[in-house]
């Protein structure tokens, strides 16, 4: 009885949230102006008058303004709790057997890592997601048993690295099709987590490993995609049915275009790989929207890894992160245009009803 009541409540919440439109959501989050920007005389170009309705305006110079609409708009005053509250219905649906992909897109320095990872005092979507999964699993423990495992990967220059591996493996990690139709990366660590206390240390180990072997940690993380994969196995204790689902939480590489004259050699290769994978993500979403017979998942490691969590009846949430500063106008418009393109696209109807 408790479960069906909860299910009814969730269904209502989810339907409101769906706004009767496809299964892709775009939430826009703007960070505050930094101390450095304020002292350098930067001005704010983002207007939040209609943020409650998902609208925001960008002052593009003179008296001109460009308006955008998303499923949610967060002002610099919104905190991590506000953000997760809106994302949590999607997280819950993983326990109902849906595959879900949540990713943060935007220029370096706009808060992608702040939103996804957060800090120990101010935890982000990754930690809160696992906390939420454990809470719901506990509430449903009379009807279901769940087993939750976590992998942390990095994609850098089109190569997959296992951030939970204790020793660096010389073997190239490849994506394979598993027997149940799921994609997997043979040989990667899948850390089983039984409670929230174990989670922080796993996530921490993952982010520490990101730094290994790079001269500049911040630069390196801005040029690689950090991908947390949560695998959930559910068993219904009443009818014995088992389901498997997957949730990806992705902190994408910075979307900024580097000026051609500035980049050479290794940096040029990195920049090309980033552009290629972010463009591939846009292309996959477009191909899904137009119901194209060929979805180009294989054009990048990023989209190939996400293949079974993008499209079909899976649910997608994109955070588009922006800077409030006039100095970032060009990149802000480019991110918002990318996000508008993604939002205008319906990733196929949700086949299962909650």
Any binding-site annotation on 107?
yes
Shortest reach from residue 327's CB to ligand ADP, in Å:
14
Torsion-angle region of 311 (φ positive above 0: left; ψ -120 to 50: alpha; else: beta): left
For helices 125-139 and 80-94, give the axis angle rounded to 10 degrees: 50
Residues 303-322 that bind ligand ADP (CB under 6 A): 321
Comparing every residue's Cβ against ligand ADP, the nearest one is: 111
Shortest reach from residue 215's CB to ligand ADP, in Å:
17
Shortest reach from residue 75's CB to ligand ADP, in Å:
9
Residue of 22, 89, 111, 206 that binds ligand ADP (CB under 6 A): 111
Any binding-site annotation on 129?
no
Any binding-site annotation on 110?
yes
Any binding-site annotation on 118?
no
Q: Which is nearer to ligand ADP, 314 or 335 (CB)?
A: 335
Task: Determine, following the binding rule CB under 6 A, whether residue 207 of this chain makes contact with ligand ADP.
Answer: no
Shortest reach from residue 255's CB to ligand ADP, in Å:
9
User: From CA 68, how far away is CA 103, in angstroms rounded?
Assistant: 19
Q: Are strands 183-184 and 72-74 parallel, antiparallel or unpaired?
A: unpaired
Shortest reach from residue 241's CB to ligand ADP, in Å:
40
Q: Which is nearer to ligand ADP, 207 or 321 (CB)?
A: 321
Any binding-site annotation on 109?
yes
Task: Determine, following the binding rule CB under 6 A, whether residue 124 of this chain makes contact with ligand ADP.
Answer: no
CA atoms within 13 A on the CB side of 138: 9
Task: Determine, following the binding rule CB under 6 A, whether residue 31 of this chain makes contact with ligand ADP.
Answer: yes
User: From CA 295, how far away is CA 225, in angstroms rounded?
Assistant: 21
Any binding-site annotation on 54?
no
What is the CB neighbour count within 10 angstroms for residue 53? 10
- Chain position carrying tokens 């190239």: 172
Question: What DSSP element (H or E) covers 104?
Answer: strand 100-106
Residue of 109, 206, 311, 324 that binds ligand ADP (CB under 6 A): 109
Residue 291 structure tokens: 């119901």
What is the CB neighbour count within 10 angstroms for residue 126? 26
Q: Which is nearer to ligand ADP, 29 or 304 (CB)?
A: 29
Three-state DSSP class for 173?
coil
Residues 89-108 that bind ligand ADP (CB under 6 A): 106, 108
Shortest reach from residue 44's CB to ligand ADP, in Å:
14
263 to 302: interface string for ligand ADP, x by CB under 6 A: ----------------------------------------
Residue of 88, 113, 273, 316 that binds ligand ADP (CB under 6 A): 113
Residue of 14, 68, 114, 338 that binds ligand ADP (CB under 6 A): 114
Residue of 222, 245, 273, 325 that binds ligand ADP (CB under 6 A): 222
Q: Which is nearer to ligand ADP, 7 or 119 (CB)?
A: 119
Dihedrals φ, ψ of 263, to 5°?
-110, 130
**Helical H runs in the chain?**
2-18, 35-39, 80-94, 112-116, 125-139, 196-211, 217-222, 265-289, 301-306, 329-343
Looking at the DSSP bridge assignments, the partners of residue 316 are 24, 101
Residue 133 structure tokens: 């999964």
Any binding-site annotation on 65?
no
DSSP secondary structure string for all residues of 5-71:
HHHHHHHHHHHHHHTTS-SEEEEEEEPPPPHHHHHTT--B-EE-TTGGGTEEEEEEETTEEEEEE-S
Count residues contacting ligand ADP (CB under 6 A)?
Answer: 13
Any binding-site annotation on 106?
yes
Binding site for ligand ADP (CB under 6 A): 31-32, 76, 106, 108-114, 222, 321
**Which residues belong to the annotated binding site for ATP?**
106-113
């Amino acid at each position: 009885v408790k479960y069906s009541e909860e299910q009814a409540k969730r269904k209502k919440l989810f339907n409101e949230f769906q706004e009767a439109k496809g299964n892709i959501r775009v939430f826009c989050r703007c960070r505050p102006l930094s101390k450095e920007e304020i002292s350098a005389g930067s001005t704010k170009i983002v207007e939040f008058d209609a943020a409650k309705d998902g609208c925001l305006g960008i002052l593009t110079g003179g008296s001109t303004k460009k308006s955008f609409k998303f499923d949610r708009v967060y002002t610099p005053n919104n905190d991590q709790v506000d953000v997760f509250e809106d994302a949590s219905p999607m997280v819950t649906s993983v326990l109902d057997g849906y595959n879900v992909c949540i990713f943060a897109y935007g220029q370096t320095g706009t808060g992608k890592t702040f939103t996804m990872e957060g800090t120990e005092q101010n935890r982000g979507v990754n930690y809160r997601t696992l906390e939420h999964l454990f809470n719901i699993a506990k509430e449903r423990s009379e009807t279901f048993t769940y087993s939750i495992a976590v992998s942390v990967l990095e994609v850098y220059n089109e190569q997959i690295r296992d951030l939970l591996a204790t020793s660096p493996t010389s073997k190239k990690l490849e994506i394979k099709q598993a027997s149940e139709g799921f994609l997997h990366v043979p040989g990667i660590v899948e850390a089983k987590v039984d409670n929230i206390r174990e989670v922080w240390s796993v996530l921490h180990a993952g982010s520490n490993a990101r730094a290994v072997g790079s001269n500049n940690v911040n630069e390196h993380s801005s040029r690689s995609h950090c991908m947390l994969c949560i695998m959930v196995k559910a068993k219904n204790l009443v009818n014995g049915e088992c389901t498997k689902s997957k949730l990806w939480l992705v902190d994408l590489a910075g979307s900024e275009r580097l000026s051609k004259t500035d980049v050479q050699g290794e940096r040029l290769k990195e920049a090309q790989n980033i552009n290629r994978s972010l463009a591939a993500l846009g292309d996959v979403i477009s191909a899904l929207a137009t119901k194209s017979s060929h979805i180009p998942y294989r054009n990048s490691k990023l989209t190939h890894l996400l293949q079974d969590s993008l499209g079909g009846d899976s649910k997608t949430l994109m955070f588009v992160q922006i800077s409030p500063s006039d100095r970032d106008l060009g990149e802000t418009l480019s991110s918002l245009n990318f996000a508008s393109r993604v939002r205008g696209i319906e990733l196929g109807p949700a086949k299962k009803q909650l």
